[in-house]
Amino acid sequence: MTKRHFSAVLFFVTPFGVLFALFYLVPIIYAVVQSLYTVERKGTFGPATEVFGGLVQYRQVFSDAPFWQSIERVLLFGVVQVPVMLGLALVFALLLDSGLVKGRRFFRLAFFLPYAVPGVVAAIMWGYLYSPNLSPFTAVTATADLLSPTLVLWAMANVVTWIYVGYNMLIIYSALLAVPTEIYEAAKIDGAGAFRTAWSIKIPMVLPAIVLTTVFSIIGTLQLLAEPQVFKSFSSAVSSTYTPNLTVLNASSIPNFHLAAAFSVVLALATFILSFTFLKFTQRKGVQ
């Protein structure tokens, strides 16, 4: 690489590198450093001083039962909600790509439109629909209390699915549009019908897009915050430690920023491990 080419590369890469360092690396390093400190007081009402505590905050994190229960809760949420959401996204993408649906532009926009609604607004809207005293669907809410401790998690899963199906559908649909039409023509000559083409050609061809959306969904599941935060106003079943991010928010509100930083670091590591494990699993299965 010549000096001129190196200067051009540096010119284009530097803005990204600066922003990446300022808004990604620096906050991570700051959170790790903060998690290693603790607050001590001299006497009951003495001034608070920050001292280096090492792994004191992490020992508290690993002994915090509600935090680990919240992780188990969102993992259960993800095991059920993510396959349903991505299954619907795949079906909608295949329908749009099949040519059987008229008005594809309209349906593409209609499927994507819920994603344009802010998550907090969507949670408030669905919360009113679930509330027995406010919902226009009283026949449903009278039969099943969707805000009860048993069902509130799945009520939130419905909100998340409603928001993100269209987003994931567009990713998969874009991958379908990149498949060469010659492959479909060859399959048609061989006598493959629409279902056989979708199952044997289209789905294998878009597996990388499905893997990508799954990784995004794993990360989003562990970061669940807006929906449970709003649903706290509608249901007493949603506590301040219902999800890991709510636990972090609750710790920072005490305030105990050092403990909140430790929670955040552990949650980030758990997210990384799950995402990396899933990617390695798909690579072993031959999905690139």
220: left (phi over 0), alpha (psi -120 to 50) or beta: alpha
Domains of the chain from N-terminus onward: 64-284 (1.10.3720.10)
* Contact criterion met (CB below 8 Å) for 114 and 162: yes
pLDDT in tens, the chain (288 residues): 567 777 888 888 898 999 999 998 999 999 999 999 988 777 666 677 778 888 899 999 999 999 999 999 999 999 999 999 999 999 999 998 887 778 788 888 898 999 999 889 999 999 999 988 888 888 888 888 889 999 999 999 999 999 999 999 999 999 998 888 888 888 888 787 888 888 888 889 999 999 999 999 999 999 999 999 999 988 889 999 999 999 999 998 888 899 999 999 999 999 999 999 998 888 877 665
Longest dimension (CA), the chain: 85
Distance, CA of 286 to CA of 137 (rounded, Å): 47
Reduced to 3 states (helix: H, G, I; strand: E, B; else coil), residue 47 is coil
